[in-house]
Structure 1
Amino acid sequence: MSINNITVFTKGRSPIKMLTCYDYWTARILANSDIDAVLVGDSVAMVMHGHLNTVHADVEMIALHTKAVRSGIGQKFIVADIPFLSHRKSLDTAVYTVEKLMRAGANAVKLEGIDGNETLIKHLVQSGVPVMGHLGLMPQHVNLIGGTHAQCRTNEEAGVLLKNAKELENLGCFSIVLECIPAEIAKHVTDSLSIPTIGIGAGPDTSGQILVLQDMLGMNQEFAPKFLKKYINGAELIQNAIEEFCKEVNSGIYPDASHTYAFHKPTIGSCNQ
Protein backbone atom coordinates (compact mmCIF):
# COMPACT_ATOMS: atom_id res chain seq x y z
CA MET A 1 0.00 0.00 0.00
CA SER A 2 1.36 3.42 -0.99
CA ILE A 3 0.11 6.99 -0.83
CA ASN A 4 -1.04 6.61 -4.44
CA ASN A 5 -3.23 3.65 -3.46
CA ILE A 6 -4.81 5.65 -0.64
CA THR A 7 -5.46 8.69 -2.83
CA VAL A 8 -7.15 6.63 -5.56
CA PHE A 9 -9.77 5.43 -3.08
CA THR A 10 -11.58 8.75 -3.56
CA LYS A 11 -12.55 7.74 -7.09
CA GLY A 12 -15.40 5.35 -6.38
CA ARG A 13 -13.26 2.56 -4.96
CA SER A 14 -13.71 0.57 -1.76
CA PRO A 15 -13.63 2.59 1.49
CA ILE A 16 -10.27 3.03 3.20
CA LYS A 17 -9.95 0.88 6.32
CA MET A 18 -7.59 2.04 9.09
CA LEU A 19 -6.91 1.07 12.68
CA THR A 20 -4.44 2.30 15.24
CA CYS A 21 -1.44 0.10 15.99
CA TYR A 22 1.16 0.59 18.67
CA ASP A 23 3.27 -2.56 18.95
CA TYR A 24 4.89 -5.48 17.15
CA TRP A 25 2.52 -8.33 18.00
CA THR A 26 -0.63 -6.50 16.92
CA ALA A 27 1.21 -5.29 13.82
CA ARG A 28 1.87 -8.93 12.92
CA ILE A 29 -1.86 -9.63 13.12
CA LEU A 30 -2.82 -6.56 11.10
CA ALA A 31 -0.20 -7.39 8.48
CA ASN A 32 -2.29 -10.41 7.53
CA SER A 33 -5.60 -8.52 7.48
CA ASP A 34 -7.46 -6.44 4.90
CA ILE A 35 -6.61 -3.20 6.73
CA ASP A 36 -5.27 -0.63 4.26
CA ALA A 37 -3.16 1.47 6.63
CA VAL A 38 -2.43 1.92 10.33
CA LEU A 39 -2.02 4.95 12.55
CA VAL A 40 0.56 5.09 15.30
CA GLY A 41 -1.54 7.67 17.10
CA ASP A 42 -0.79 9.85 20.10
CA SER A 43 -3.63 7.89 21.73
CA VAL A 44 -0.80 5.50 22.56
CA ALA A 45 -0.20 7.68 25.61
CA MET A 46 -3.63 6.68 26.93
CA VAL A 47 -4.01 3.14 25.63
CA MET A 48 -0.51 1.83 26.28
CA HIS A 49 0.84 4.14 28.98
CA GLY A 50 -2.23 4.95 31.07
CA HIS A 51 -2.27 8.74 30.70
CA LEU A 52 -5.53 10.67 30.83
CA ASN A 53 -5.16 12.31 27.42
CA THR A 54 -2.93 12.49 24.35
CA VAL A 55 -0.90 15.54 25.36
CA HIS A 56 1.48 13.25 27.27
CA ALA A 57 2.76 11.61 24.08
CA ASP A 58 6.15 12.92 22.99
CA VAL A 59 8.41 12.36 20.01
CA GLU A 60 10.38 9.56 21.64
CA MET A 61 7.20 7.69 22.56
CA ILE A 62 5.68 7.90 19.08
CA ALA A 63 8.98 7.03 17.38
CA LEU A 64 9.54 4.00 19.63
CA HIS A 65 6.10 2.60 18.87
CA THR A 66 6.40 3.42 15.17
CA LYS A 67 9.62 1.41 14.99
CA ALA A 68 7.94 -1.57 16.68
CA VAL A 69 4.96 -1.41 14.31
CA ARG A 70 7.20 -1.18 11.26
CA SER A 71 8.95 -4.37 12.36
CA GLY A 72 5.70 -6.31 12.21
CA ILE A 73 3.40 -4.59 9.73
CA GLY A 74 5.16 -5.61 6.52
CA GLN A 75 4.49 -3.28 3.59
CA LYS A 76 1.34 -1.68 4.97
CA PHE A 77 1.18 2.11 5.09
CA ILE A 78 2.00 3.71 8.45
CA VAL A 79 0.88 7.18 9.51
CA ALA A 80 2.47 8.56 12.70
CA ASP A 81 1.01 11.38 14.79
CA ILE A 82 3.02 14.52 15.32
CA PRO A 83 2.73 14.84 19.12
CA PHE A 84 1.52 17.77 21.19
CA LEU A 85 3.59 20.99 20.88
CA SER A 86 6.47 19.22 19.15
CA HIS A 87 5.79 21.22 15.98
CA ARG A 88 5.01 24.60 17.60
CA LYS A 89 8.44 25.57 18.92
CA SER A 90 10.19 26.28 15.65
CA LEU A 91 10.31 25.00 12.10
CA ASP A 92 13.63 23.31 12.84
CA THR A 93 12.17 21.48 15.83
CA ALA A 94 9.14 20.42 13.82
CA VAL A 95 11.29 19.07 10.99
CA TYR A 96 13.44 17.18 13.51
CA THR A 97 10.28 15.61 14.95
CA VAL A 98 9.04 14.52 11.54
CA GLU A 99 12.48 13.24 10.50
CA LYS A 100 12.60 11.07 13.62
CA LEU A 101 9.15 9.61 12.93
CA MET A 102 9.89 8.93 9.28
CA ARG A 103 13.24 7.29 10.05
CA ALA A 104 11.45 5.13 12.64
CA GLY A 105 9.35 3.70 9.82
CA ALA A 106 6.41 6.02 9.15
CA ASN A 107 5.29 6.60 5.56
CA ALA A 108 3.42 9.78 6.50
CA VAL A 109 2.63 12.03 9.46
CA LYS A 110 -0.65 13.38 10.81
CA LEU A 111 -1.05 16.90 12.12
CA GLU A 112 -3.99 18.31 14.08
CA GLY A 113 -5.54 21.59 12.96
CA ILE A 114 -4.41 24.23 10.53
CA ASP A 115 -4.10 27.59 12.28
CA GLY A 116 -0.38 28.29 12.61
CA ASN A 117 0.55 25.08 10.79
CA GLU A 118 0.31 26.34 7.22
CA THR A 119 4.03 26.99 6.72
CA LEU A 120 5.01 23.66 8.26
CA ILE A 121 2.56 21.63 6.15
CA LYS A 122 3.75 23.27 2.95
CA HIS A 123 7.40 22.84 3.94
CA LEU A 124 6.93 19.15 4.77
CA VAL A 125 5.10 18.39 1.53
CA GLN A 126 7.75 20.20 -0.47
CA SER A 127 10.36 18.17 1.41
CA GLY A 128 8.79 14.85 0.39
CA VAL A 129 6.76 14.09 3.51
CA PRO A 130 3.12 13.05 3.00
CA VAL A 131 0.91 14.91 5.50
CA MET A 132 -2.52 13.83 6.73
CA GLY A 133 -4.68 16.59 8.21
CA HIS A 134 -7.02 16.30 11.17
CA LEU A 135 -10.13 18.43 11.78
CA GLY A 136 -13.21 18.33 13.99
CA LEU A 137 -12.47 17.05 17.47
CA MET A 138 -8.74 17.48 18.00
CA PRO A 139 -7.70 15.58 21.15
CA GLN A 140 -4.51 17.61 21.62
CA HIS A 141 -6.79 20.62 22.24
CA VAL A 142 -8.60 18.88 25.12
CA ASN A 143 -7.55 21.49 27.67
CA LEU A 144 -8.64 24.35 25.42
CA ILE A 145 -12.06 22.99 24.46
CA GLY A 146 -12.85 21.52 27.86
CA GLY A 147 -13.18 17.84 26.98
CA THR A 148 -13.69 15.42 24.13
CA HIS A 149 -17.14 16.13 22.75
CA ALA A 150 -18.68 16.38 19.30
CA GLN A 151 -17.74 19.41 17.22
CA CYS A 152 -19.16 21.44 14.35
CA ARG A 153 -22.76 21.72 15.59
CA THR A 154 -23.61 25.09 13.94
CA ASN A 155 -23.66 26.41 10.38
CA GLU A 156 -20.85 28.80 11.22
CA GLU A 157 -18.66 26.02 12.58
CA ALA A 158 -19.45 23.87 9.55
CA GLY A 159 -18.37 26.68 7.26
CA VAL A 160 -15.08 27.10 9.09
CA LEU A 161 -14.41 23.36 8.95
CA LEU A 162 -15.05 23.23 5.21
CA LYS A 163 -12.80 26.24 4.66
CA ASN A 164 -10.03 24.62 6.70
CA ALA A 165 -10.41 21.32 4.88
CA LYS A 166 -10.06 22.99 1.50
CA GLU A 167 -7.02 24.90 2.71
CA LEU A 168 -5.38 21.67 3.94
CA GLU A 169 -5.99 20.20 0.50
CA ASN A 170 -4.47 23.25 -1.17
CA LEU A 171 -1.42 23.04 1.10
CA GLY A 172 -0.79 19.51 -0.15
CA CYS A 173 -2.33 17.18 2.46
CA PHE A 174 -3.08 13.79 0.91
CA SER A 175 -6.05 13.06 3.21
CA ILE A 176 -7.88 14.44 6.24
CA VAL A 177 -9.22 12.76 9.39
CA LEU A 178 -12.65 14.08 10.39
CA GLU A 179 -13.41 13.31 14.03
CA CYS A 180 -16.70 13.54 15.91
CA ILE A 181 -18.70 15.78 13.59
CA PRO A 182 -22.27 15.37 12.24
CA ALA A 183 -22.55 12.91 9.38
CA GLU A 184 -24.10 15.42 6.98
CA ILE A 185 -21.23 17.85 7.52
CA ALA A 186 -18.68 15.10 6.96
CA LYS A 187 -20.42 14.11 3.74
CA HIS A 188 -20.48 17.70 2.48
CA VAL A 189 -16.77 18.13 3.23
CA THR A 190 -15.92 14.80 1.61
CA ASP A 191 -17.91 15.66 -1.51
CA SER A 192 -16.17 19.05 -1.70
CA LEU A 193 -12.62 17.66 -1.71
CA SER A 194 -10.55 15.72 -4.20
CA ILE A 195 -8.55 14.05 -1.41
CA PRO A 196 -9.96 11.28 0.81
CA THR A 197 -11.42 11.82 4.27
CA ILE A 198 -11.08 9.27 7.07
CA GLY A 199 -13.91 9.34 9.58
CA ILE A 200 -14.04 8.54 13.26
CA GLY A 201 -17.44 9.45 14.61
CA ALA A 202 -18.21 11.22 11.33
CA GLY A 203 -20.83 8.97 9.79
CA PRO A 204 -20.80 6.57 6.83
CA ASP A 205 -20.07 8.92 3.93
CA THR A 206 -16.39 9.66 4.45
CA SER A 207 -13.83 7.99 2.17
CA GLY A 208 -12.84 5.59 4.93
CA GLN A 209 -13.06 4.77 8.62
CA ILE A 210 -10.59 4.52 11.49
CA LEU A 211 -10.95 3.24 15.04
CA VAL A 212 -8.59 2.64 17.93
CA LEU A 213 -7.85 -1.09 17.76
CA GLN A 214 -8.25 -1.70 21.49
CA ASP A 215 -11.57 0.16 21.47
CA MET A 216 -13.14 -1.92 18.70
CA LEU A 217 -11.85 -5.08 20.40
CA GLY A 218 -13.67 -4.12 23.61
CA MET A 219 -10.56 -3.92 25.76
CA ASN A 220 -11.86 -0.97 27.79
CA GLN A 221 -15.31 -1.86 29.09
CA GLU A 222 -15.91 1.63 30.50
CA PHE A 223 -15.21 3.45 27.22
CA ALA A 224 -18.33 3.58 25.06
CA PRO A 225 -18.69 6.74 22.94
CA LYS A 226 -21.64 6.91 20.56
CA PHE A 227 -19.55 6.26 17.43
CA LEU A 228 -17.78 3.15 18.73
CA LYS A 229 -18.81 -0.37 17.76
CA LYS A 230 -17.19 -3.10 19.84
CA TYR A 231 -16.77 -6.17 17.64
CA ILE A 232 -15.84 -8.48 20.51
CA ASN A 233 -15.64 -8.27 24.28
CA GLY A 234 -11.86 -8.61 24.30
CA ALA A 235 -11.43 -7.78 27.98
CA GLU A 236 -13.80 -10.57 28.98
CA LEU A 237 -12.18 -13.09 26.62
CA ILE A 238 -8.72 -12.36 27.99
CA GLN A 239 -9.94 -12.36 31.59
CA ASN A 240 -11.59 -15.76 31.06
CA ALA A 241 -8.41 -17.19 29.54
CA ILE A 242 -6.32 -15.94 32.47
CA GLU A 243 -8.76 -17.39 34.99
CA GLU A 244 -8.75 -20.74 33.14
CA PHE A 245 -4.94 -20.78 33.26
CA CYS A 246 -4.98 -20.09 37.00
CA LYS A 247 -7.51 -22.88 37.63
CA GLU A 248 -5.53 -25.40 35.61
CA VAL A 249 -2.27 -24.54 37.37
CA ASN A 250 -3.97 -24.83 40.78
CA SER A 251 -5.51 -28.20 39.90
CA GLY A 252 -2.41 -29.60 38.22
CA ILE A 253 -4.11 -29.95 34.82
CA TYR A 254 -1.49 -27.68 33.27
CA PRO A 255 1.15 -28.49 32.30
CA ASP A 256 0.39 -32.07 31.30
CA ALA A 257 2.57 -34.53 29.40
CA SER A 258 1.88 -32.91 26.03
CA HIS A 259 3.39 -29.66 27.33
CA THR A 260 6.40 -31.27 29.02
CA TYR A 261 9.83 -32.08 27.62
CA ALA A 262 11.02 -35.68 28.04
CA PHE A 263 14.48 -36.56 29.26
CA HIS A 264 16.24 -39.15 27.10
CA LYS A 265 18.99 -40.91 29.00
CA PRO A 266 22.12 -41.38 26.92
CA THR A 267 22.90 -44.97 25.93
CA ILE A 268 26.08 -46.23 27.56
CA GLY A 269 27.89 -48.64 25.29
CA SER A 270 29.91 -51.63 26.53
CA CYS A 271 33.63 -51.29 26.96
CA ASN A 272 35.72 -53.60 24.83
CA GLN A 273 39.21 -53.79 26.15
Structure 2
Amino acid sequence: MKTITSIKKAKGEIPLTVITAYDSLFASLFNNKTDMILVGDSLNMSFNNKPDTLSASLDIMIYHTNAVCQGAPDTFIICDMPFGTYTDEVMALKNASKVYQETTAHAVKIEGGTERAHIIQALTNNSIAVMGHIGLMPQYVRSEGGYIVRGKSEEDTLKLIEDAKAVEKAGAFAIVVEGVKSEAAKRITDAVNIPTIGIGAGNDTDGQVLVWSDMLGFFEEFQPKFVKKYLNGADLVKNAVDNYITDVQTRKFPTQEYTY
Protein backbone atom coordinates (compact mmCIF):
# COMPACT_ATOMS: atom_id res chain seq x y z
CA MET A 1 0.00 0.00 0.00
CA LYS A 2 1.29 3.45 -0.92
CA THR A 3 2.05 6.04 1.75
CA ILE A 4 2.75 9.76 1.56
CA THR A 5 6.45 8.95 1.66
CA SER A 6 6.37 6.34 -1.11
CA ILE A 7 4.17 8.55 -3.28
CA LYS A 8 6.65 11.40 -3.02
CA LYS A 9 9.54 9.03 -3.76
CA ALA A 10 7.76 7.93 -6.95
CA LYS A 11 8.60 11.30 -8.53
CA GLY A 12 10.34 10.61 -11.81
CA GLU A 13 10.08 6.82 -11.38
CA ILE A 14 7.42 4.35 -12.60
CA PRO A 15 4.29 6.48 -13.22
CA LEU A 16 1.66 6.39 -10.48
CA THR A 17 -1.80 5.04 -11.30
CA VAL A 18 -4.95 6.63 -9.91
CA ILE A 19 -8.58 5.74 -10.60
CA THR A 20 -11.81 7.12 -9.17
CA ALA A 21 -14.29 5.01 -7.24
CA TYR A 22 -17.57 5.86 -5.55
CA ASP A 23 -18.78 2.60 -3.98
CA SER A 24 -17.49 -0.41 -2.12
CA LEU A 25 -18.06 -2.89 -4.96
CA PHE A 26 -15.90 -1.19 -7.58
CA ALA A 27 -13.39 -0.08 -4.96
CA SER A 28 -12.89 -3.73 -4.03
CA LEU A 29 -12.06 -4.50 -7.68
CA PHE A 30 -9.43 -1.77 -7.69
CA ASN A 31 -8.06 -2.57 -4.22
CA ASN A 32 -4.35 -3.32 -4.12
CA LYS A 33 -4.06 -2.79 -7.88
CA THR A 34 -4.02 0.95 -8.54
CA ASP A 35 -1.65 3.09 -6.44
CA MET A 36 -4.39 5.47 -5.29
CA ILE A 37 -8.17 5.73 -5.41
CA LEU A 38 -9.73 9.17 -5.69
CA VAL A 39 -13.29 9.56 -4.44
CA GLY A 40 -13.88 12.37 -6.89
CA ASP A 41 -16.68 14.89 -6.83
CA SER A 42 -17.03 13.73 -10.45
CA LEU A 43 -19.48 11.27 -8.90
CA ASN A 44 -21.99 14.11 -9.02
CA MET A 45 -21.98 13.78 -12.80
CA SER A 46 -21.23 10.12 -13.51
CA PHE A 47 -23.11 8.70 -10.49
CA ASN A 48 -25.88 11.26 -9.88
CA ASN A 49 -26.34 12.54 -13.48
CA LYS A 50 -25.87 16.20 -12.50
CA PRO A 51 -24.58 18.73 -15.06
CA ASP A 52 -21.42 19.54 -13.06
CA THR A 53 -19.69 18.81 -9.75
CA LEU A 54 -20.86 21.90 -7.89
CA SER A 55 -23.87 20.51 -6.02
CA ALA A 56 -21.94 17.64 -4.41
CA SER A 57 -22.10 18.15 -0.63
CA LEU A 58 -19.64 17.22 2.09
CA ASP A 59 -22.08 14.63 3.46
CA ILE A 60 -22.34 13.02 0.01
CA MET A 61 -18.56 12.88 -0.31
CA ILE A 62 -18.18 11.40 3.18
CA TYR A 63 -20.86 8.78 2.44
CA HIS A 64 -19.11 7.62 -0.74
CA THR A 65 -15.64 7.85 0.81
CA ASN A 66 -16.73 5.53 3.60
CA ALA A 67 -18.02 3.05 1.06
CA VAL A 68 -14.76 3.16 -0.89
CA CYS A 69 -12.70 2.78 2.29
CA GLN A 70 -14.69 -0.34 3.15
CA GLY A 71 -14.08 -1.83 -0.28
CA ALA A 72 -10.40 -0.92 -0.63
CA PRO A 73 -8.75 -1.15 2.80
CA ASP A 74 -5.32 -1.75 1.25
CA THR A 75 -5.22 1.25 -1.07
CA PHE A 76 -4.34 4.92 -0.49
CA ILE A 77 -7.64 6.82 -0.68
CA ILE A 78 -8.21 10.52 -1.32
CA CYS A 79 -11.48 12.37 -0.74
CA ASP A 80 -12.32 15.32 -2.98
CA MET A 81 -13.30 18.36 -0.96
CA PRO A 82 -16.48 19.59 -2.68
CA PHE A 83 -17.27 23.10 -3.85
CA GLY A 84 -17.89 25.63 -1.07
CA THR A 85 -16.33 23.59 1.73
CA TYR A 86 -12.93 25.31 1.87
CA THR A 87 -13.50 28.98 1.12
CA ASP A 88 -11.41 30.05 4.13
CA GLU A 89 -8.94 28.42 6.49
CA VAL A 90 -11.37 27.91 9.37
CA MET A 91 -14.03 26.32 7.18
CA ALA A 92 -11.47 24.16 5.38
CA LEU A 93 -9.97 22.86 8.61
CA LYS A 94 -13.38 22.11 10.07
CA ASN A 95 -14.61 20.24 7.00
CA ALA A 96 -11.38 18.38 6.25
CA SER A 97 -11.20 17.35 9.91
CA LYS A 98 -14.72 15.96 9.55
CA VAL A 99 -13.56 13.86 6.60
CA TYR A 100 -10.70 12.48 8.69
CA GLN A 101 -12.90 11.86 11.72
CA GLU A 102 -15.75 10.16 9.84
CA THR A 103 -13.76 8.16 7.25
CA THR A 104 -10.42 6.39 7.01
CA ALA A 105 -9.35 8.39 3.94
CA HIS A 106 -5.65 9.13 3.85
CA ALA A 107 -5.88 12.58 2.26
CA VAL A 108 -8.16 15.24 0.80
CA LYS A 109 -7.92 17.01 -2.56
CA ILE A 110 -8.35 20.74 -3.08
CA GLU A 111 -8.66 22.70 -6.34
CA GLY A 112 -6.67 25.91 -6.75
CA GLY A 113 -3.16 27.28 -7.04
CA THR A 114 -1.68 30.41 -5.51
CA GLU A 115 -5.10 31.61 -4.35
CA ARG A 116 -5.64 28.43 -2.33
CA ALA A 117 -2.09 27.86 -1.08
CA HIS A 118 -2.89 29.35 2.32
CA ILE A 119 -5.80 26.91 2.66
CA ILE A 120 -3.55 23.96 1.87
CA GLN A 121 -0.98 25.29 4.35
CA ALA A 122 -3.61 25.51 7.10
CA LEU A 123 -4.54 21.87 6.55
CA THR A 124 -1.04 20.45 6.28
CA ASN A 125 -0.05 22.43 9.38
CA ASN A 126 -2.80 20.51 11.17
CA SER A 127 -1.76 17.02 10.05
CA ILE A 128 -4.17 16.72 7.11
CA ALA A 129 -2.55 15.41 3.93
CA VAL A 130 -3.50 17.36 0.82
CA MET A 131 -3.36 16.59 -2.88
CA GLY A 132 -3.49 19.77 -4.97
CA HIS A 133 -5.31 20.28 -8.27
CA ILE A 134 -4.42 22.90 -10.87
CA GLY A 135 -5.11 23.58 -14.53
CA LEU A 136 -8.65 22.92 -15.67
CA MET A 137 -10.61 22.84 -12.43
CA PRO A 138 -14.20 21.50 -12.64
CA GLN A 139 -15.33 23.52 -9.60
CA TYR A 140 -14.51 26.70 -11.57
CA VAL A 141 -16.63 25.70 -14.58
CA ARG A 142 -19.34 28.36 -14.10
CA SER A 143 -17.03 31.22 -13.21
CA GLU A 144 -14.75 30.46 -16.17
CA GLY A 145 -17.55 29.83 -18.65
CA GLY A 146 -16.84 26.17 -19.35
CA TYR A 147 -14.09 23.59 -19.40
CA ILE A 148 -11.13 25.47 -20.85
CA VAL A 149 -7.81 23.81 -21.71
CA ARG A 150 -4.92 25.55 -19.99
CA GLY A 151 -1.28 26.19 -20.87
CA LYS A 152 -1.87 27.38 -24.42
CA SER A 153 0.25 30.50 -23.95
CA GLU A 154 3.57 31.23 -22.28
CA GLU A 155 1.84 33.55 -19.83
CA ASP A 156 -0.65 30.90 -18.77
CA THR A 157 2.06 28.24 -18.53
CA LEU A 158 4.10 30.45 -16.22
CA LYS A 159 0.99 31.02 -14.09
CA LEU A 160 0.45 27.26 -13.80
CA ILE A 161 4.09 26.74 -12.80
CA GLU A 162 3.63 29.43 -10.15
CA ASP A 163 0.49 27.63 -8.96
CA ALA A 164 2.28 24.28 -8.75
CA LYS A 165 5.17 25.74 -6.78
CA ALA A 166 2.79 27.46 -4.37
CA VAL A 167 0.86 24.23 -3.81
CA GLU A 168 4.11 22.33 -3.21
CA LYS A 169 5.41 24.97 -0.79
CA ALA A 170 2.12 24.79 1.13
CA GLY A 171 2.79 21.13 1.86
CA ALA A 172 0.81 19.15 -0.72
CA PHE A 173 2.23 15.69 -1.41
CA ALA A 174 1.10 15.56 -5.07
CA ILE A 175 -0.74 17.66 -7.64
CA VAL A 176 -3.43 16.74 -10.15
CA VAL A 177 -2.75 18.58 -13.42
CA GLU A 178 -5.93 18.54 -15.49
CA GLY A 179 -6.70 19.71 -19.01
CA VAL A 180 -3.28 21.23 -19.68
CA LYS A 181 -1.30 21.21 -22.93
CA SER A 182 1.31 18.47 -22.76
CA GLU A 183 4.26 20.84 -23.21
CA ALA A 184 3.06 22.96 -20.31
CA ALA A 185 2.38 19.89 -18.16
CA LYS A 186 5.97 18.74 -18.67
CA ARG A 187 7.31 22.10 -17.58
CA ILE A 188 5.06 22.03 -14.51
CA THR A 189 6.26 18.51 -13.68
CA ASP A 190 9.90 19.56 -14.02
CA ALA A 191 9.35 22.63 -11.85
CA VAL A 192 8.25 20.80 -8.68
CA ASN A 193 9.68 18.05 -6.49
CA ILE A 194 6.35 16.33 -5.78
CA PRO A 195 4.54 14.03 -8.23
CA THR A 196 2.14 15.42 -10.79
CA ILE A 197 -0.86 13.30 -11.72
CA GLY A 198 -2.13 14.08 -15.19
CA ILE A 199 -5.60 13.89 -16.66
CA GLY A 200 -5.77 15.24 -20.17
CA ALA A 201 -2.22 16.55 -19.70
CA GLY A 202 -0.08 14.27 -21.82
CA ASN A 203 2.48 11.61 -21.02
CA ASP A 204 5.18 13.55 -19.18
CA THR A 205 3.53 13.79 -15.76
CA ASP A 206 4.47 11.48 -12.88
CA GLY A 207 1.20 9.55 -13.09
CA GLN A 208 -2.29 9.42 -14.55
CA VAL A 209 -5.86 9.49 -13.22
CA LEU A 210 -9.09 8.55 -14.98
CA VAL A 211 -12.73 8.38 -13.94
CA TRP A 212 -13.61 4.69 -13.68
CA SER A 213 -16.88 4.93 -15.63
CA ASP A 214 -15.07 6.67 -18.51
CA MET A 215 -12.14 4.24 -18.54
CA LEU A 216 -14.37 1.17 -18.41
CA GLY A 217 -16.87 2.43 -20.96
CA PHE A 218 -19.94 2.77 -18.75
CA PHE A 219 -20.51 6.48 -19.38
CA GLU A 220 -22.09 6.86 -22.82
CA GLU A 221 -23.16 10.51 -23.14
CA PHE A 222 -19.77 11.61 -24.44
CA GLN A 223 -16.12 10.54 -24.39
CA PRO A 224 -13.51 13.20 -23.59
CA LYS A 225 -10.51 13.30 -25.93
CA PHE A 226 -8.14 12.24 -23.15
CA VAL A 227 -10.08 9.09 -22.19
CA LYS A 228 -9.00 5.68 -23.46
CA LYS A 229 -11.70 3.04 -23.02
CA TYR A 230 -10.26 -0.21 -21.69
CA LEU A 231 -13.64 -1.96 -21.67
CA ASN A 232 -16.98 -1.58 -23.45
CA GLY A 233 -18.72 -1.84 -20.12
CA ALA A 234 -22.10 -0.44 -21.14
CA ASP A 235 -22.42 -2.86 -24.06
CA LEU A 236 -21.43 -5.83 -21.91
CA VAL A 237 -24.02 -4.95 -19.26
CA LYS A 238 -26.79 -4.33 -21.80
CA ASN A 239 -26.06 -7.63 -23.55
CA ALA A 240 -26.07 -9.49 -20.24
CA VAL A 241 -29.41 -7.92 -19.24
CA ASP A 242 -30.90 -8.80 -22.65
CA ASN A 243 -29.76 -12.40 -22.19
CA TYR A 244 -31.29 -12.52 -18.71
CA ILE A 245 -34.61 -11.16 -19.95
CA THR A 246 -34.69 -13.67 -22.81
CA ASP A 247 -33.89 -16.57 -20.48
CA VAL A 248 -36.62 -15.58 -18.04
CA GLN A 249 -39.25 -14.99 -20.70
CA THR A 250 -38.51 -18.31 -22.43
CA ARG A 251 -38.25 -20.14 -19.08
CA LYS A 252 -34.64 -21.09 -19.69
CA PHE A 253 -33.85 -19.60 -16.29
CA PRO A 254 -33.86 -20.85 -13.64
CA THR A 255 -32.95 -24.42 -14.57
CA GLN A 256 -32.60 -27.21 -12.01
CA GLU A 257 -28.99 -26.10 -11.50
CA TYR A 258 -30.22 -22.84 -9.96
CA THR A 259 -33.16 -24.31 -8.03
CA TYR A 260 -33.27 -25.51 -4.39
Q: Normalising by structure 1, report the TM-score.
A: 0.92
Q: What is residue 57 of structure 1 aligned with on the other side?
A: 56
Check conservation: 2:92, 2:123, Cα contact below 8 A. Answer: no
Q: Which amino acid aligns with 1:58?
A: S
Q: What is residue 138 of structure 2 aligned with on the other side?
A: 139
Q: Which amino acid aligns with 1:183?
A: S
Verify: 1:96 aligned to 2:103, yes or no: no
Deviation at 1:115, TM superposition (A): 4.3
Q: Which amino acid aligns with 1:13?
A: E
Show structure 2 runs of 5+ residues with no match.
Answer: none
Instruction: Output the CA distance in 2 between the equivalents of 1:175 and 1:69.
Output: 21
Higher radius of gyration, 1 or 2: 1
5 Å matches for 1:1-273? 1-10=2-11, 12-32=12-32, 34-88=33-87, 90-103=88-101, 104-261=103-260
Deviation at 1:246, TM superposition (A): 0.2
After superposition, the Cα gap between the structure-2 partners of 1:156 and 1:116, relative to the gap in structure 1 and judged at 3 Å, is closer
Out of 112-121 and 36-45, give the one that drifted further.
Answer: 112-121
Q: Which amino acid aligns with 1:124?
A: L
Check conservation: 1:110, 1:133, Cα contact below 8 A. Answer: yes
The C-alpha deviation readout for 1:102-132, integer Å capped at 9, x for no partner, is 2212101110003442322111111111111
- Aligned residue for 2:175, secondary structure, equals strand
Instruction: Output the CA distance in 2 between the equivalents of 1:47 and 1:163.
Output: 32
Identity %: 40
Instruction: Output the CA distance in 1 between the equivalents of 2:140 and 2:24.
Output: 29
- Aligned residue for 2:143, secondary structure, equals helix
The C-alpha deviation readout for 1:185-215, integer Å capped at 9, x for no partner, is 1111111111000000000010000000000
Q: What CA RMSD, in Å, does the superposition of the two structures yield over aligned residues?
A: 1.1
Instruction: Output the CA distance in 1 between the equivalents of 2:193 and 2:91.
Output: 31
Out of 155-164 and 91-100, give the one that drifted further.
Answer: 91-100
Instruction: Output the CA distance in 1 between the equivalents of 2:242 and 2:94.
Output: 46
Instruction: Output the CA distance in 1 between the equivalents of 2:208 and 2:52.
Output: 22
Check conservation: 1:215, 1:223, Cα contact below 8 A. Answer: no
Instruction: Output the CA distance in 2 between the equivalents of 1:153 and 1:65.
Output: 35
Instruction: Output the CA distance in 1 between the equivalents of 2:169 and 2:9.
Output: 17
- Aligned residue for 1:238, secondary structure, equals helix
- Aligned residue for 1:204, secondary structure, equals coil
- Aligned residue for 1:209, secondary structure, equals strand
Show structure 1 runs of 5+ residues with no match.
Answer: 262-273
- Aligned residue for 2:134, secondary structure, equals strand
Instruction: Output the CA distance in 2 between the equivalents of 1:6 and 1:223.
Output: 32
The C-alpha deviation readout for 1:212-233, integer Å capped at 9, x for no partner, is 0000011122321111101111
Instruction: Output the CA distance in 1 between the equivalents of 2:243 and 2:158.
Output: 55
Deviation at 1:149, TM superposition (A): 2.9
Q: Which amino acid aligns with 2:27?
A: A
Check conservation: 1:9, 1:16, Cα contact below 8 A. Answer: yes
- Aligned residue for 1:80, secondary structure, equals strand
Q: Which amino acid aligns with 1:146?
A: G
Which contiguous aligned blocks of 4+ residues in structure 1 show a shift greater than 4 angstroms? none
- Aligned residue for 2:142, secondary structure, equals helix
Out of 213-222 and 234-243, give the one that drifted further.
Answer: 213-222
Deviation at 1:92, TM superposition (A): 2.7
Deviation at 1:171, TM superposition (A): 1.0
**How many pairs were matched up?**
258
Q: Normalising by structure 2, report the TM-score.
A: 0.96
Q: Which amino acid aligns with 2:176?
A: V
Instruction: Output the CA distance in 2 between the equivalents of 1:240 and 1:6.
Output: 40
